[in-house]
Amino acid sequence: MSGKDAGKRIPFGAYLQQRLKLRYGNVLTELKKGEIEATSIDTKEAKEVEDISSSSTTQVTEVDTDVKLVDNIKIDKQPLSVEFKDKVRGFVTKQLEGLDPQSEQFRKQAFKPSKAFVDLVSKDIIGSPKKFREFLNENPTFYKGLNITELIAIDDGRVKKGQPRLFTEVNKRLTKQSEIEKFMMQGRVPYLTTAQQKAGANLYNRLTPKVAAVVNNFFGSTPSNNSNRKRAIAKAIANKFIAEAAPSTEAFKAKPQDVRAKTAEKLQVSQNAKFSKTLLQQNNIEPGVVNDFLKATSSKDFTNVLKEKLKDKNIKSPWLDTANEYFKENPIAGIPISVRKKISKEISLMYSMAFKGEVALKREVTNKGVDKAIDVINENLYKNLTFGYSYDTIDLIFGDKTNAPVSYTHLTLPTICSV
């Protein structure tokens, strides 16, 4: 303190008010620059933090913070091709070969993409230096798919340069292991070992910067800066692809259940995630027949049957029961009965958990009603069956990329994975 107040004692409240005014002024300055938006934490996140603070047993609201990067990147307005995804899966298979998920070094070794892998991402996704800005403009929200650790590092670098944080901010300090594990798998806490979790962890909010601020952050003022940043982005994307593609590799599928669970946990990804071919492609169903299948599942007759079954609390798997009943009377040419049953069962499993049936659908009906649940089912069936998005138990309903516990359980991710 300086000036006439130097050496004087002032009430703590007055001092705090002075400091808040200074801090608030800095925030307003950054808002005027247009670099950040005034919506860093939404009502869901606020409610979630409130719930965590008030009770350790209350089931908290899940927040959709983790984005599947491979499905959100567009090149010339087109999603990444199946051929490209298969190339990535090949690199990932080689990357994870021989690694022990029980080892403390597993993550460090797994997230160390080869030069050839980074070159593939740099060349086929980001493009030439001239195309770099085009990539950023076409994919201004690609950062949402990056690991929280990468974003924190970017923001820490900005702070060192005297710039405000752009992608993350600390929400609060977590001390309970169950909460750390939960938010770690949601992509809001950097990965920590069990031993590290004992010291607590910061829970982060993911900010929503404006497009211009994102482009300016990654696109430097000199060709050298652009080249370095482009390479850094390519490596960060490659690392996220390693996590996203791992569960769909043949090597991963061949591992024992406990090894798959531990690998997925350390990669911060669901062990059920799909990466490449869609469910219908895997069964060699023609595109035209895919449309017939989707039209049938969204038809008035199918919907009417599904509505009644969703309302019946005694029916464990309403969607599967509806599909079996409907397609028995209305078969689709081009889909053999055996294949149709297989597809229907796999779709049902997307919403299911253990032996409790389609719990995700029942949860959606309870929270939002039958009509909203059917809208969500139809929307996500189209996306997942045609584009090959992930098939997580709760993902199709809530966008949650983890095997999160359902409302009436208190199972943690390791518990669920070990069942």
DSSP for 179-212, written as a single string: HHHHHHHTTSS----HHHHTT-EEEEEEP---HH
Residue 369 confidence (pLDDT): 87
Query: Residues 213, 315: one domain?
Result: no
Query: Residues 309, 380: one domain?
Result: yes
Nearest alpha-carbon partner for 291 in 333, 263, 323: 333
Residue 123 confidence (pLDDT): 92
Half-sphere exposure of 81 (CA within 13 A, CB side): 7
pLDDT band at 398 (very low <50, low <70, confident <90, very high): very low
Type and span of the H or E element at 269: none
pTM of the model: 0.55
Long-range own/partner contacts, residues 335-340 (CB < 8 A, 24 or more apart): 335/285, 335/289, 335/293, 339/283, 339/285
Greatest mean pLDDT among 11-25, 31-45, 262-276, 378-392:
262-276
Residue 168: φ, ψ to 5°: -140, 155
| 355 pLDDT above the threshold of 80 | no
Last residue of a domain, one of 267, 291, 307: 267
Residue 205 confidence (pLDDT): 93
The answer as to whether 129 is a domain residue is yes
Cα(392)–Cα(383) distance, integer angstroms:
13
- Burial of 309-318, coded b for 16+ CB within 10 Å and e otherwise, reads bbeeeebbbb
Cα(307)–Cα(299) distance, integer angstroms:
12
| 50 pLDDT above the threshold of 60 | no
Cα(303)–Cα(322) distance, integer angstroms:
9
pLDDT band at 275 (very low <50, low <70, confident <90, very high): low
Query: Residues 251, 308: one domain?
Result: no
Query: Residues 109, 240: one domain?
Result: yes
| 56 pLDDT above the threshold of 60 | no
Position of tokens 């994870």? Answer: 96
The answer as to whether 298 is a domain residue is yes
Q: Cα 57 from chain centroid?
A: 25
Residue 196 confidence (pLDDT): 92
The answer as to whether 233 is a domain residue is yes
| 399 pLDDT above the threshold of 70 | no
Residue 410 confidence (pLDDT): 29
CB–CB of 349/307 below 8 Å? Answer: no
Percent of the chain with pLDDT over 90: 29
- Output the average pLDDT for the chain: 74
Residue 265 confidence (pLDDT): 85
Helices (H) and strands (E) in the chain, counts: 22, 4
Percent of the chain with pLDDT over 70: 68
Residue 335 confidence (pLDDT): 81
The answer as to whether 250 is a domain residue is yes
Query: Residues 123, 251: one domain?
Result: yes
Query: Residues 233, 294: one domain?
Result: no
Residue 282 confidence (pLDDT): 56
Handedness of CA 243, 244, 248, 249 (dihedral sign): negative
- Cβ count within 10 A of residue 80: 20
Q: Residue 75 sits in which domain range?
A: 65-170+208-267
Looking at residue 396, its amino acid is L
* Range in 21-25, 94-98, 170-174, 328-332 the model is least confident about: 21-25
| 118 pLDDT above the threshold of 90 | yes
Q: Which two tokens stand for residue 292?
A: 């017939």
Residue 164 confidence (pLDDT): 94
Query: Residues 316, 369: one domain?
Result: yes
Compute the average pLDDT of residues 292-314: 90
- Encode pLDDT of 73-84 as tens digits: 888 888 888 788
Residue 288 confidence (pLDDT): 66
SS3 readout for 45-111: HHHHHHHHHHCCCCCCCCCCCCCCHHHCCEECCEECCHHHHHHHHHHHHHHHCCCCCCCCCHHHHHC
Query: Residues 232, 366: one domain?
Result: no
Report the greatest alpha carbon distance in the chain: 89
The answer as to whether 59 is a domain residue is no
DSSP E strand stretches across 129-257: 168-174, 201-206
Looking at residue 392, its amino acid is D
* Range in 107-116, 249-258, 277-286, 336-345 the model is least confident about: 277-286
Q: Cα 183 from chain centroid?
A: 12
CB–CB of 96/246 below 8 Å? Answer: yes
**CB-based contacts of 137, cutoff 8 Å, min separation 6:** 211, 215
Domain total in the chain: 2
The answer as to whether 182 is a domain residue is no
Cα(54)–Cα(52) distance, integer angstroms:
6
Q: Which two tokens stand for residue 256?
A: 């024992």
Query: Residues 124, 239: one domain?
Result: yes
- Encode pLDDT of 183-241 as tens digits: 888 889 999 988 899 999 999 999 999 989 998 888 876 777 778 888 999 999 999 99
Position of tokens 């010291």? Answer: 199
Query: Residues 289, 241: one domain?
Result: no
Q: Which two tokens stand for residue 196?
A: 């590290």
Cα(152)–Cα(162) distance, integer angstroms:
15
Helix orientation angle between 287-297 and 318-329, rounded to the nearest 10 degrees? 110
Position of tokens 């149709």? Answer: 340
The answer as to whether 40 is a domain residue is no
Query: Residues 283, 374: one domain?
Result: yes
Cα(151)–Cα(340) distance, integer angstroms:
43
| 172 pLDDT above the threshold of 90 | yes
Cα(347)–Cα(340) distance, integer angstroms:
11
**3-class secondary-structure state, position 253:** helix
Query: Residues 313, 290: one domain?
Result: yes
The answer as to whether 317 is a domain residue is yes
CB–CB of 367/373 below 8 Å? Answer: no
Residue that wins the pLDDT comparison between 288 and 378: 378
| 302 pLDDT above the threshold of 50 | yes
Compute the average pLDDT of residues 110-126: 94
